[in-house]
Amino acid sequence: MQTFDLEAEGLRALNSALHAQASTTNQTVWEILNPKGSHAIAVGLDAPIEVTIKGSTGYYCAGMNKQATVHVHGSTGPGTAENMMSGTVIVEGDASQYAGATGNGGTLIIKGNASSRCGISMKGIDIIVHGSIGHMSAFMAQSGNLVVCGDAGEALGDSLYEARLFVRGSVKSLGADCIEKEMRAEHLAILEDLLERGGCDAKASEFKRYGSARKLYNFNIDNAY
């Protein structure tokens, strides 16, 4: 294991060392000490390495992640796993606003709650939240899956495209063009896999599915001014 004291050695040195890792590296396991809410920890990784962060982080932790597994033993600030492409990001605590924003792939697991705009403009990422999410989550979400074991705030799925939203608890309100949809066998199978991957103690049958009504796809002259 490679142990890195962020307080002693600094963020630039940490990210430079992590970026230097390639698919053939033998330094595959990293432990980051004393993050103390620093921003942009472990961003832009592109190697099959495991990074464990012992504490809470600031903005954009694990942003643009490829291949790597990043495990945060604490909470994270805004933009966690923003624009991630592949790999896995696990947050043991809570995540601030727009977690998983614009994510193209991979899996983001939040074991606490997520704030507003979770999964905004998601493009293929799977986001699994053990707790609840805030308002405007999955705004303009294009594809992928958002699983919420708790409740969802206002305007869930506003201007949604083809992402699938699964919510176990209550939804304060649905956004424009987002509706509740039938939970068919194929959706139960997808959700069961996601719950297993996320380590969630919940049953797929307890969730409702939400998706796009597809009324915003085409221009309507009645909406023109």
Q: Whole-structure pTM over 0.85, yes or no?
A: yes
Q: List C-alpha distances in Å: 209 to 151, 168, 170.
A: 13, 9, 12
pLDDT for residue 221 is more than 70: no
> Do 118 and 135 meet the contact criterion of CB atoms below 8 Å apart?
no
The pLDDT score that the predictor gives to residue 2 is 94
Gap between the Cα atoms of 160 and 170, Å rounded: 19
- Per-residue pLDDT tens digits for 45-103: 999 999 999 999 999 999 999 999 999 999 999 999 999 999 999 999 999 999 999 99
Residues in the chain, overall count: 225
Strand partners, 52: 31, 71
Query: Which two tokens mark 138?
Result: 């999955």
pLDDT for residue 16 is more than 90: yes
Q: Stretch 29-33: mean pLDDT, rounded?
A: 97
The pLDDT score that the predictor gives to residue 225 is 60
Query: Which two tokens mark 212?
Result: 């796009």
